[in-house]
Amino acid sequence: MSVGGTASGRWLDGALPPGVRVGDGSLIEGAQAFKRFYGTAPDALVIGESCTFQGVQFAVGMDARIEIGHHCYLNNTVLMAELFIQIGSYVVIGWNTSIADTDFHPIDPMLRIEDAIACSPLGAQRPRPPVGKAAVHIGDDVYIGPSATILKGVRIGPGAFVEPGSVVTRDVPAGARVIGNPARIVDRPE
């Protein structure tokens, strides 16, 4: 595995940021890939071998991490990590899919106002209120269709199939097929 793209794993649009390790034969395409990459850990983003990422955005918070296995294909996917996102090997994720391990903003309306002020230039560096975070785990051999959304705390078992447009708010068992908003199981292996 290369650090900074020194072996055959690389980003076509520039030098990889510190904390990014890309496996041999992996390729990242897209000028916006690291626009919101703030990871400070030496392993903030670890990508296995022979993966292809086209138009993927790695939005990684300062203390967050993302681990991706081997032989994965992601197309115009947004990975938003403030804690930890783990994606197994042989995973395919369709275009316009979002995966987030946090709510990013408070659920409570009063705290949302406080958060909006803290995020604005008027906030005078006020601290942001806390938000919910929970790791996302996606097993090996998973297919996630276009325009799906995977939310915090979800565990998708190996071999699962997430239909296009699904919003996954709960765990998906190994080999199950889910569809809808919120996603529900429509088929599972015997």
How far, in Å, CA of 12 to CA of 108, rounded? Answer: 41
114 SS3 class: helix
111 SS3 class: helix
Residue 8's pLDDT is 56
For the chain, which ranges sit under pLDDT 70?
1-8, 123-124, 190
Residue 151's pLDDT is 98
pTM: 0.90
Hey, what domains does the chain have and what are their CATH numbers?
2-103+132-187 (2.160.10.10)
Pair of tokens at residue 20: 């990014």
- Which residue(s) pair with 55 in the sheet? none
Residue 137's pLDDT is 98
Residue 190's pLDDT is 67
Query: Which positions are annotated as active-site residues?
Result: 105
Contact 54, 72 (CB under 8 A): no
The side-by-side arrangement of strands in the sheet containing 155-156 is: 2-3, 20-22, 45-47, 65-68, 84-87, 136-138, 155-156
124-156 per-position pLDDT tens digit:
678 888 888 999 999 999 999 999 999 999 999
Helix then strand then coil, % of the chain, to nearest 5? 5, 35, 60
